[in-house]
Amino acid sequence: MKSQIQLLPFLCCCFLTIYGTTVYARSAVKQKKPKMERVNYGRPFEPLTRPAFIALPPGAVEPEGWLRDWCIAARDGYTGHMDEYDDDFKRAWAADYKMTGENLLWYKGAWPYEGGGYWFDGLVRLGYALHDEGLIQQAKRRLYAVADHVNPNGISFLWWLNKNNPEDQKAVASALEGWPLWACGLLGRSMTGYYEGSGDKHILKALETAYSSDPDGLRKITGNMSNPWPAFDTYTWTGNKGIADALNAMFDKNRPGLKPNLNRYRTAPSLKPGTTVANQHMVEFLEGTTPWAVAYLWTGDSSYLKAAMGWHDLLERVAMQPTGVPVADEWYGLTGAFRGTETCDVAGYVWSQSELLAVSGEGRVADRLERAFFNAGPATVSRDFKTHVYFQSPNRFVDKSPNFPHGPMAEGGSYQAKHLPLCCTAALNRIVPYYVTNMWMATYNNGLAATCYGPCKVTALAGDSVPVEITCKTDYPFNETIEMSVKPEKEAVFPLFFHIPGWCANPELNINGSVIKIRRNAKGFTCVNRRWKAGDTVRLHFPMTVSVKTGHDNSLYGPFDGAHKPTLITIPEKNSTQGAPYASVSYGPLLFALPIPDTKDANTPDSTTKWNYALDAQGKLLGADIRVERQAMPDKWDWPLSSPLKLQVKAKVCDWNPTSDKPLPATSVANEGQSESITLIPFGCTKFRVSMFPVTERVLELSESEKH
């Protein structure tokens, strides 16, 4: 068993900047270093601009409680057994699977390079999170199949191609404008995760060779940026000048060649109502916006980070579903009850928020990460982690409905062992381990930060390289309290940072039974800097309140022809009333839904369940009449219909017959008639449900009153 303290050979560096610092430097290798100070998880060749937090190596955070149950389901389901689901996963980056010429097109044979990158990324991180030697060795075998062959004359990780052969270069460029290089970036992430967890120099050498051999290599895929982040990580470990040259070329504002869709993400968008933008395929959006945060770290130009954050703020404004992920079926669009989110994009969104959280240190990004993970995450897969959907939607009444614009369309809403194309089958493996790995991070003043919550144990270095174990005992988000035990190997002074959720109005903090006043900083964290000793305890209490959010479904619902082309999206006016009114109900970070029980499997609903309700309200405040019910957590967690947390909500039966183009009633429901109580459970515990409800006139009146 590996030691749970992940010590890699980069334990000293300087500590300096955080989000907002502007240090312009054309080349990181020429920047003058400040006086060196020991930083536990620093890297020897970091540029001067620092992220707010340092991601801990995979394996430093280990899941416990309900979260461990879900990780084990992932291991025993898809993640540990992908070779059994389709032969393409056996081919993924196999040493004897070498596509050339037109076969470098994903649909002519090269798809396993994408699928392997997604799968290996999750496999590596889940293996280290569980300290599961079987998963780790499986990942090692698959990655070594590439690392054994990477050479300076290859094209990135496509080691069998020759960069000096014009025909090979042409074939790569002609394959959807460099698509094979995008797939290389997914493999690069897998390799950086493996190196962080293992310290394996063979993997590091492969990364260094792949990213240093061509100064224009990062620019050769002109539409997105999957490679700059693993290239940047590799530079910080090696200081390789060839990688520095490639990063300089990538982020050179004066060099032409990048596609307009990518160049526009260099600057933050206007969020002014009425602003119109052309949307994009969500995978390309996430890969084209998020890595500009790397440009900030590399150049010191804070406008790059503001750009990355700004485009994600735009998603929040125009496309965010109540589940915490954007409409992405497969292009982003306006919020809608029958609009879908591709499983690839649930995984991509969790990845993007974890990366932006580390760089920016913004608590609101941690809030987004939690909401996406706790709601959209479990909706992607069945309870046994052996079937999945291609698309999920806020409301689902029957199998193979609603219809979606792209991919497998209506079939994509069905839980199946695999969907074609296989991208979602591969990408879903990233969702759980990316959250677990990023629940704790390190800081440049040798502290640790609790960025997201759930039952876990973190084993890391703090203070003057003192090993520390912190166990988080909690059922969060199904309850409100997190009990931590702090166990340093010896007494040590270091800071602990705690993310205070943005939805929590009255958080409480106790150290060893004593109340500590919370001073929430501008980024949503509070800090306790003290001398810690074994036996110290931390108690966080985040009182949850019911939140009823109203809005209008103004999305487009076909007819769909499956064409991939941008459409114009307009930022709506504040409090716009255009579209069908709806309400969603949340409690803390959890979205709640009216369950339509699944019976023999996740595609068979109970046809006797009544679901045609409009949300009603009694009293003077929305949500004040909603009653919370709790019971003990089950012995084994599998997102059960018999949830330990329920809400009793007032609702009225209404005349509601959803159709593919009219998923909600066009207007509010009259107040006449008697309300009844219905039971809502967490969205993630449902397979069929209503989470975007029609509303009564009374709900709209209260909503308008509260807004003013």
Parallel, antiparallel or unpaired: strands 391-392 and 341-342 = antiparallel
Q: What percent of the chain has pLDDT over 90?
A: 90
Q: What count of other Cβ atoms lies within 10 Å of the Cβ of residue 435? A: 28
Q: What are phi and psi of 128, to 5 degrees?
A: -70, -35
At how many degrees (to 10) do helices 343-360 and 282-289 cross?
10
Token representation of residue 392: 């999920």
Chain segment 327-344, per-residue pLDDT in tens: 999 999 999 999 999 999
* pLDDT value for 261: 85
Q: Which pair of structure tokens corresponds to residue 619?
A: 């009293």
| Residue 88 scores a pLDDT above 90 | yes
pLDDT digits (tens, 9 = 90+) for 110-151: 999 999 999 999 999 999 999 999 999 999 999 999 999 999
Across 32-43, average pLDDT: 75
All structural domains of the chain with their residue ranges = 1-20+58-257, 440-541, 547-707
pLDDT at 15 over 60: no
Within 67-179, strands assigned E span none
* Whether the predicted pLDDT of 39 surpasses 80: yes
Topology of domain 440-541, CATH: Immunoglobulin-like (2.60.40)
- Between 174 and 31, where is the model more confident? 174
Please give the structure tokens belonging to residue 103.
Answer: 């076969």
- Interval 652-659 mean pLDDT: 96
Kindly give the pairing relationship between strand 508-511 and strand 440-442.
Answer: unpaired
Q: What whole-number distance in Å separates Cα of residue 341 and Cα of residue 344?
A: 8
Q: In this predicted model, what pLDDT tens digit does every residue of 461-500 receive, in sequence order?
A: 999 999 999 999 999 999 999 999 999 999 999 999 999 9
Instruction: Report pLDDT digits (tens) over 218-232.
Output: 999 888 899 999 999
Given a contact cutoff of 8 angstroms between Cβ atoms, the answer to whether 196 and 6 are in contact is: yes
pLDDT digits (tens, 9 = 90+) for 510-522: 999 999 999 999 9
Q: What is the pTM of this model?
A: 0.95
pLDDT, tens digit (0-9, with 9 covering 90-100), for 289-323: 999 999 999 999 999 999 999 999 999 999 999 99
The answer on pLDDT for 279 being more than 70 is: yes
Residue with the bigger pLDDT between 326 and 557: it is: 326
What integer best gives the mean pLDDT of the chain?
94
pLDDT of residue 681: 98
What are the residues whose beta carbons fall under 8 Å from the beta carbon of 627, sequence distance 6 or more? 647, 648
Which residue shows structure tokens 């060893």? 512
For residue 216, pLDDT beyond 90: yes
